[in-house]
Structure 1
């Protein structure tokens, strides 16, 4: 597996993996992984964030979006989850920035367990204005 900068030629693969991973992680959000949320990914996040992809044998299997030291998005194709790709992408963010933060939906219990194992601690909670669901702010200190 290699971690490399996102290229515009990765867009179709990244949008597909994001869509499938988002629907799996956020079944409680209506329209997740499509429509307006997909447009925002393509037109805002893939343009404005510092994006990295995980690639195995030439196939994009993971996406890490950084907004400074904040992990704005971490997604792994459903068929590759549980194989260390997410862990490697988080470690990449830590290597770049030291202490990192992120927000995770309260209802995304699998991701919350993952981040707990990765050493993140809760810093606060807020209601996401767009979805009405609770977001938990997490932080992992530099090691």
Structure 2
């Protein structure tokens, strides 16, 4: 069931809600990464990504349920709260990125099968693969 999703610019007041949904979403998406969603990775999220990226949030029923982080035309991060997944939030965020940049790229962990299926459904195609320096896991480059 799709819900009405509003996409707006990230505001510093969104930090707690965004870090919480990010942490819960990545622990499910990346169980193969030690310490995912906490500690050093959470610090980087707060101090680097939320500061340096062009961040947008998805709101449904007045709650922040998704985060889109853009680095130019690259989707550096796309996260949807677990309870809001499968309801059109991720698709709305991807469409927002495309509306801003036309063509967009991103990287996804090879082992994140759910995200890979989602990106395929919304029209991304594989461009290449590389090992992630930080984790050693394989990253797949996608373009739409």
Q: TM-score, normalised by structure 1?
A: 0.97
Match of 1:64 in 2: 68
Query: Tell me, which stretches of 5 or more residues in structure 1 are unaligned?
Result: none
CA–CA distance in structure 2, aligned partners of residues 56 and 137 of structure 1: 29
Structure 2 matches for 1:78-97, cutoff 5 A?
A: 78-97=82-101
Counterparts in 2 of 1:1-143, with a 5 A limit?
1-140=5-144
1:36-63 CA distances to partner (integer Å, 9 max, x unpaired)? 0000000000000000000112210000
- Structure 1 runs of 4+ with >3 Å offset: none
Distance (Å, rounded) in 2 between the aligned partners of 1:35 and 1:135: 22
The Cα shift of 1:111 comes to: 0.3
Q: Distance in 1 between matches of 2:123 and 2:66?
A: 20
- How many aligned residue pairs are there? 140
CA distance in 1, matches of 2:136, 2:32: 11
How far apart, CA to CA, are the structure 1 residues paired with 2:17 and 2:110? 27
